[in-house]
Structure 1
Amino acid sequence: MKLIYKIFIAVVLLTGFWSCENEENLMILEPQAAAFSIITPETGSSTILNKDTPNNTALTLTWEKVSYGTPTIVTYTVQFAVSNTEFAAPVDITTSTGTHATITVAELNAKALELGLTAGVEGTIDVRIKSTVGTTLSEPKTSTPITINLTPYRGVFPRVDLFLVGPGTAAGWSVTSNNMPIYRDPKENAKQYYTGYFNKDGFKLIEQIGFWAPAYGTNGAKVQYRATESDTDPGVFPTTAAGYYSFEINLEELTYKITPYAGPLTTYTTITVAGSVLTGDDTGWDMNVPMVQSTFDAHIWKVTQTLKAGKMKFKANGGWDTSWGDNGGDIIVEAGKYDIWFNDLDGRYMFIPTP
């Protein structure tokens, strides 16, 4: 019995010594009492971001070193916040174990827009540095914040499908039937085109079939965007007489141009789709999936088709004497089901995903 008691006492003593030793190893590091500052840039500095140089350095930050009273690795985090919110919802931008950081034009522009700044308009964001160390129970410290002025640019314009509506179109004023799409530029989402037949009295553009907003129309010589149905209804893009017109619109710059079309009006008996998108292999190039010709404009064609990932072209009259692709080459398509639209006047096409 005495032996068991002695062993118990020894275990208790050893456990106590181990606990005390580990408590001594738990270093609670506190940063210096004095505030630390951002050295560059100065508060109130201004930067206009240039979309043509996205990889250039837009902002170089340097700051004072923070001491935790013992040699240790300090991690610094650059944080942005909406101005005058006292960093209620800070956004971490980048981290460094040094006392400097650089941010590219594209990175800074994306964060500026994320924090609510408007493209083309100077706004402000608040910046601070947060210091931390990896030791358990260490205390973070934040720098004195600064405010900087930024003028962001609009990032990559989103892909928007636009459909014709109005007395000059096949749909009339219906937003639920016969609404033909216009054709997005394959490289610049903000630019869209349409060449085709219009009745007189003009047209507008809607983003979603069945809804009057978002929509685009005119306000004098400029494009007017209608975000909701409670917004002011814009005017029509003008077609003063029935005939063929070429129309261009830039959704980013809110500009447009419409002119009478004076090019050839060759009429084709059939337009078909051919390519590996139909079969998943080269046998699809020998096929002809017919498109349906518009009764309103004989140069507009449509077919709804499930495609495999691959390549395709449009063919006239079932042969290869006249065909259209992507600048003469094949059109690359991702797998899916699409409403496929084609305009034989200018060779433009649209693939609109459909259930």
Structure 2
Amino acid sequence: MKNNIFKNIFLALMVILGLASCQDRDIITIDNSTSATVMDLSTSSLFLDKNFPANPALTVTWKPASYTVPTEISYKIEASADDKFTKPVTLATVASSERSATFTTLQMNDASAALGFKPSEEANMFMRVISYVGSAESLATVSNVTSLKITPYVLTYPSFYIVGAASYVGWTPEKAQVLHKSDNLSYIYTYLQGGEKFRFLGQLAWDGKNYALNTAATKASNQYFNQWSSNLSVPADDDENIQFTGDTGIYKIVINASQGVQTIDVKPSAIPAFDFPELYLVGNIAGNGWKPESAVAMTTVGDGVYEYTTTLGADTEFKILGQQSWGDFDWGNISGDGNTGFLGPKGDNGNIKFVGDGGSYKITVNLKAGIYTIVKLS
């Protein structure tokens, strides 16, 4: 009996010692022995030409970093406005098999804007390569710093075209609806269908740039918006589009395309409806004289679409009413006086101003799409 007890104790000790031995063999220390070194920039002076945004502008090459044991290494290329890299911008992150990275004119211009460089003024851009292990960027080593002189151009922001089941136009890219653009901001008051999907295109076609939410669940080439309103999310069943979770109605979509900002905000319009029994024009049009009680009625021609034909002079100025009074239903040129072709509701509009020649024109107002047109009749 005692022999059995001793045997069991002996076997238990052997197992414990064996496990400890295995654990010791699994503890491997990884140290960096050399850092990644920037070997060359393809140029020391770079004048960016806005006419060729897709052209290769700069190539960065480096020696591979090495560690005491074989391991997966990643490289991050950073740019900065100072050699201390106080606020660096990441140009790219590449895998261990790469030894160089090439950046286009547009990419370098975007980086210049993110660093605060002024258009058409030469500036010093400092660059370095960081090597690291794992997703947490552990055991990071930093290369030497190399600089170049760069002259950026005036940044042009993308145009955004909305398309999808949630939108006014459906899934036909050729009919995608462009947003009004003012510098870094693009915005529109338009119809959105609750519970449906949409995305933004950079052109009237699928081929090219597509814009959606910047999340791991979104297709890499579609990732763009860094922040968004709570009524937007990534659909559960696809990785290309945006899910609109709000109620159906008219919304103001605002995109801030500033480099590194890239936000989208969707808020209900002050006038969420679009299908009114009557719509009226008021102003120095059709002899109206800005008297709302004698505002001229438009003809309903579709779902939220109205028309009126009249002669227009060089000083034409008018607004759109949902009643023959200065009431709650009031539309005009978006965000102020002008002739942009985009509608804004009361509180966010101005007069529609048009230079006519005394000829006959058809005015079309589409409250559902948030647009208007003024077309001369032959």
**TM-score, with structure 1 as normaliser:** 0.47
Larger strand proportion, structure 1 or 2? 2
**TM-score, with structure 2 as normaliser:** 0.45
Structure possessing the higher radius of gyration over alpha carbons: 1
